[in-house]
Structures are given as C-alpha cells and as structure tokens.
Structure 1
Amino acid sequence: FRSINVAFRKAFDPYANVRPVRTLVPGGRYENIDLLLIRENTEGLCVGVEHYRGMHGDPRAAAESVMIITRFGAERVCRYAFEYARANGRNEVTLAHKANILKFTQGLFLEAGREVAEDFPDIEWEDRIIDATAMHLVLDPHRFDALVMENMFGDILSDLMAGLVGGLGFAPAGNIGTDTAMFEAVHGSAPDIAGQGVANPTGLLLSACLMLDHIGQQEVGTRIRSAINDVILAGRVRTVDMGESASTAEYTDALVRALA
C-alpha cells in the first residue's frame, strides 16, 4: 500500500471523510467561518489505479490514472452528508463536481447526489462546478454551509478551507465507515518539525472531539472545545502558527488548566 491511510481505507471501508473547519483565532482575514466538507474516501483518482504505457522504446512514455466512481459509493457518501448536515443543524449541502467535462464519472456522482437530495426536503441543496466552488470559497466562504464531493476534489478543497481559518493546525478529520471509524488531524505527522516543540496540537485535539461525538460523549467533547476557545481567546498562550511563541507543551498545559 502507498500509505497506512490507504491500507486502512482498503481494509475497513471508511467511506466518508468528515472535515469541519471553524474560526478559532480572531483577527484573521475571515471571521466566523463554520464550514463542513464531506469527502468520499474510497473511490476517485486517489485510490491509485494507475500505470505506465510504453511506446517508441520508452516503457514510461505515458502514464494513465483511472477515476473510479460507482453509483453505490456516490450515493452513500451523499446520503451521509445530508444525514450529517441534518443531525448537526446545517441547512444546505453543496455538491461540487466537474460533470461539465467528466460527464461519465463526475456526471454519475452528480446524478447520485441529485437523487439523494430528493429524500431530504428540509435541507437545501445545490451543485457547483469545482473550480467555481474554489473561487467562491476564497471570495465569500460564508455563502457555504456543508459541501460534499469526490475524493481528490475533497482532498484539495479541505486544505483550502483549513487555510481560511489559519492552517492545517486547526483542521480535524474523521474517517467514518459502516462499522468502523478513525479520527486524525488533517496535517499528518509533520516529521520536519518533530521534536522542536512548535507543533499546534489543536487539530489533533479537535479530531479527538469528533471521536467523542461519534461515541456519544458529546459533553466531554464540548468541554475540550470550550477549553481550546478559552485559551486561544485569552491570547496569552498561543503556538508559533498563531503568531506567538508558546511551545506545544506550554499550550497543552494551558488547555489542561482550562479543563480543570
């Protein structure tokens, strides 16, 4: 397998990648951001079905990747997005796609989403071309609420959305399947800063909050979120990526004190 995450997705089928972002540090370019992206996690280009084609004596003269979209996969992630939106008080779902060009694969994803939307008359829905969606997320992110899209588009736009609220250090994620779930910070392991004490643990802690919500411990998750809000808003103990000089340990100690 290409990575541990790919191996996990193959083995346990966590088809919905849940990536919420919310403004935590005031004074940035955007205030009051509260967005949710649901990314299909098991299909599309990111599954890595690709190969070389040889020609004119060059075995690697060309490379091809296969985008796999199934009606089953598209339908279940779109249904999950609508159900998650309903359960979490969100009013609109935007399906972002490239069906104007990729008429078969992206067209099938869009078709499945339209059919699912009919089962949720209480949730507004729209579809948008993916490139226009990226532009409007930068121009006016408040026009969106929840978004759903295929694997690679979701991978790209979820990082863009993290940038709206200060970076990957604030971005949690959950990988949800029928019988299994895994929660992780979006930023990965960041080996380039290992041992330096400069990592922002907020994304990892918020991922733990998503896990607590998932297992019915919402009250505990809410306490942790409140502690994070209190420490950041107080402004005295913030990590380097928040514009201050606190180490990872100092920031974490402040969170522990806020929870006490």
Structure 2
Amino acid sequence: MYRIAIIPGDGIGKEVMESGEYLLDKLDLNFSFEYGEAGFECYNKNGVTLPEETIKIAKKSDATLFGASTSTPGQPSPIINLRKELDVYANLRPIKSYRGVRSISDNIDFLIVRENTEGLYSQIEYEQDNKVIAQRVITRRASEKIAKVAFEQCIAKQKQKVTCVHKSNVLKKTDGVFKESFYKIAENYPNIESNDFYVDATAMYLITQPQNFDVIVTSNLFGDILSDEGAGLVGGLGLAPSGNIGDDHGLFEPVHGSAPDIAGKGIANPCSMILTIAMMLDYLKEYEISNKINKAVENVVSAGKTLTPDLGGNSTTSELTKSIIDEILEGDY
C-alpha cells in the first residue's frame, strides 16, 4: 500500500484534487491518504501557511500530492517552503502538444528541469539604506546536481540534447557557476548533445522553434517563467503537470495556481492534476498505469468531445474527469 499525503490547498486546488482522488480510487492499486493543510485558508485558520503537522505528514509519506495555494500577503509561500523541507531539488515540468488543442506546433515534446532550492527563490530579502535587496544564491553543488538530473532524464526519455539556460553575460558570477557546472557534468555524458542559450533568447526560441528542444535545465526563477511560457505553447496551464523530486521524497503538483476567478464554478481543467498523478506513479515505479493515464488524457483531449472551457469546450471538471477515467478503464492499451 502506498501512503499518499494529500494537500488540497486553496481555490481550484481543492476541486482538481477531488478529481485526482477519484482517479486514484478507481485504479487497481492500494492507497492510503493522509490530509494536510496549507495556503491562504490555512493561514486564516491556523496563523501559518504551512503547519509543522503538514510537513510531518509529507515526510512520512511515499509521495505528496499538492493542489494549489493562494498567496498570503507578508507570508512565505507554502509550496516553496515544502519543497525545501523535503529537499526536492529537481522540478520536472514536461511540455507536450496534443492533437485537437491549439498550439504553436504539433510536435512539441520537451522537459524543463528547474533547480528548486535556491536562486532568487531562496527568499533572502532585506532592507538597507532605503533599498530592498534580494539575494540570488547559486551553488556549485546544487548546479551540478540539477545538471545530472537533466542528463539522466534525457536518457530516460530517450532524447538527444540537453540545453542549459542562463544569463551569464550579465549575472557573471552566479550564472557563471551554473553554466560551468553544467558543462562539467556534460563531460560524463559524451553521447548526449549539450548546448546553452541566454534566457531571453530561449524565450524567443520557444516561440519560433520549440520542436528543437529536448531537455532544458535552468535555475529556479528562469524555470518558473519558461515553464509557464511552455504551457502557453500547448494549450495552457490546464495541461501542465509537474513533479518535485529529491533523493528521499517526491512532491507532485499541477503547475497552475488557485485561480480564484473560476474557483467554485466547477470548470477547472483536471488534466494537469491527472497528468501530475501519472508523474507520481512513475516516481512510484508504476509505469504501466502511468502510461495508461497519459494515453487516456491524450485520447480524450484529442477527441474533443469533453473539454473544459479553457480548451474550447463547455464540459465541467467532473465530466472531463469521468471521461478520462472511463478511457483508462476501457481503453485497450
């Protein structure tokens, strides 16, 4: 039996989590769920955005599933802090185009590997002499670790190229370390092509030639921004899953936020959560079921009969969820 920590969070995080739990209940696997609180509503109730009890639940679980959280003014981000507590230093964000969904290109299929523990997201900020300063922390150790993950993911996904994204022409020391660390690790993978681009150029190339990317490895802030751009290439954040992987823990979350503008309307796209669950099952080495989920999402989305408004349809969250689950249970693959 797999022990799964469930942290619904705020807004549509709770709605898509219901879809995720419904899916997990239908699979031919044994799960036990333990629930934790986090986010804006949690802060209003408990005075903290991420209680110690939630951290304990996540640490003793086989994997953690997180919905979404609304930002709380003046308070730390619960998901950033949970990533740090679990030391899940690699954020994996796949970008894939689907038939029937409007996208820049029909053959987009790349992975963004984002360093998850430092950079500007170190949250080290302070005021000094009428200035507000944020420290950007980049270490050789973390840079080498994330580069290794990128090359290993390239092998696992049977890709040919890893691209390092940085801004070392301006951030000469911090991104200089990131770039140097990347090429140091690249020496251990002579059969994989390695190259690098500045982040501004990469932002343009994702629009003009997205099919030329296989695996992108980059720092925390750049990865956050580029992965949202990548989602925009293939139909939006409703199709954007992610996994946070470390040596001892796995934390999985859809890329989208809590979307308060549509929360409670029952129209949130559950595909990002469902694809995120497929990533979680990969992490748990349940590859056959993970592949079925990915294929079912692809088939249902491509058919175009049951789509939520963000994908051009008029179906509800529960209707799309049911269509995908029916495809998983009935599909011959």
Q: TM over 0.5: same fold?
A: yes
Cα distance in 2 for partners of 1:11, 1:253 equals 35
1:159 to 228, 232, 236: 228
- The one-letter amino acid of 2:123's match is G
Asked if the contact 1:99–1:107 (Cα under 8 Å) also holds between the matched residues in 2, the reply is yes
1:151-207 deviations in whole A, cap 9, x for unaligned? 000010010001000111100000011111111100033233222011001011111
Report the RMSD for the aligned CA atoms in angstroms.
Answer: 1.1
- The one-letter amino acid of 1:36's match is L
1:81 to 143, 150, 158: 150
1:61-115 deviations in whole A, cap 9, x for unaligned? 3211111001001000001110111111111000000011111100000000010
- The one-letter amino acid of 2:265's match is Q
1:1-260 correspondence to structure 2 within 5 Å: 2-26=76-100, 28=102, 29-54=104-129, 61-260=130-329
Runs of 4+ in 1 over 3 A off after TM superposition: none
Q: What SS does structure 2 have at the residue aligned with 1:14?
A: coil
Cα drift, residue 122 of structure 1: 1.3
Cα distance in 1 for partners of 2:278, 2:101 equals 25
Asked if the contact 1:25–1:242 (Cα under 8 Å) also holds between the matched residues in 2, the reply is no
1:192-246 deviations in whole A, cap 9, x for unaligned? 3222011001011111001111111010011111111111122111110111101
TM-score between the two structures when normalised by the length of structure 1: 0.95
Cα distance in 2 for partners of 1:172, 1:35 equals 13
Asked if the contact 1:25–1:165 (Cα under 8 Å) also holds between the matched residues in 2, the reply is no
- The one-letter amino acid of 1:50's match is E
Q: Which moved more, 1:144-153 or 1:17-26?
A: 17-26
- The one-letter amino acid of 1:32's match is N
Cα distance in 1 for partners of 2:148, 2:326 equals 40
Relative distance call for 1:182 and 1:27 in structure 2 (3 A) is closer
How many positions carry a matched residue from both structures? 254
Q: What SS does structure 2 have at the residue aligned with 1:182?
A: strand
Counterpart position of 1:58: none
Cα distance in 2 for partners of 1:139, 1:259 equals 35
Q: What SS does structure 1 have at the residue aligned with 2:164?
A: strand
Cα drift, residue 25 of structure 1: 4.2
Cα distance in 2 for partners of 1:78, 1:42 equals 14
Percent sequence identity over aligned pairs: 44
Cα distance in 2 for partners of 1:155, 1:236 equals 32
Unaligned 5+ segments in structure 1 are: 55-60
Asked if the contact 2:100–2:303 (Cα under 8 Å) also holds between the matched residues in 1, the reply is no
Cα distance in 1 for partners of 2:233, 2:214 equals 14
Q: What SS does structure 1 have at the residue aligned with 2:179?
A: helix
Cα distance in 2 for partners of 1:129, 1:12 equals 30
Cα drift, residue 5 of structure 1: 1.0
Unaligned 5+ segments in structure 2 are: 1-74
1:111-154 deviations in whole A, cap 9, x for unaligned? 00010000001111001111111111111111111100010000
Cα distance in 2 for partners of 1:46, 1:197 equals 32
Cα distance in 2 for partners of 1:76, 1:204 equals 27
